[in-house]
Amino acid sequence: MRASVFIATSLDGFIARPDGGLDWLPQGGGEPHGFEEFIASVDVVVIGRKTYETVLGFGGWFYGAKPVVVLSSRPQAIAPPAGAVCEALSGTPAEVVARLELRGFTHAYVDGGVTIQGFLEAGLIQSLVITRIPILLGQGIPLFGATTRDIRLRHVSTRDFPSGMVQSSYQVLPGNPAP
């Protein structure tokens, strides 16, 4: 199964304020920058529990009828909104991917800092699209954390937007075996 990341960061690499706040992101997502096309290309969303709770706070269900898997060690704590196709799973990233593949899923959108870090560390992410927002937060929740090895990337493209957003796409190179 292919797994991809599409995420925004501050210029200094944070995906949220220390308290999880996202008030620094452009209103309404800013100008079109390819997210709608990206989300249409995936058949399942895999997010961490904290990211799930953040999304619930946006008002309305963001993913429509797209299946969403929430990674949680406490599945009973997940209360999907009406109309959501949502379930909780626990396990290592490799176990989660294996279960999703058995169900016929072929392209996952992986979201949430800890979740992205775990999937990268396990060698399960193939592509990253990172949109940098022109703001310095100084502190917050980082997109990337410590790794046990180098994870090599190939730059695919970079584009800029009138608002000052800069979006770079990377391919995670093969030969990044899990530890």
Residue with tokens 């706040």: 21
Instruction: Centre a 10 Å sphere on the Cβ of residue 163 and count the other Cβ atoms it contains.
Output: 12
Question: How many residues make up the chain in this entry?
Answer: 179
For residue 62, what pLDDT is reported?
Answer: 79
pLDDT the model gives residue 4: 98
pLDDT of residue 78: 82
Q: Give the model confidence (pLDDT) of 100-147 as tens digits.
A: 999 999 999 999 999 999 999 999 999 999 999 999 999 999 999 888
* CATH class of the structural domain 12-168: alpha beta
Q: How far apart (Å, rounded) are the C-alpha atoms in residues 119 and 136? A: 26
Let me know the angle formed at the C-alpha of 67 by 96 and 87, rounded to the nearest 5 degrees.
Answer: 60
Which stretches in the chain have pLDDT values below 50? none
Domain boundaries, the chain: 12-168
C-alpha separations of 83 from 35, 61, 86 in Å: 22, 8, 9
What's the token pair of residue 168? 């770079």
The strand ranges marked E within the chain are: 2-10, 14-16, 44-48, 68-71, 86-89, 107-111, 127-133, 141-142, 153-160, 166-172
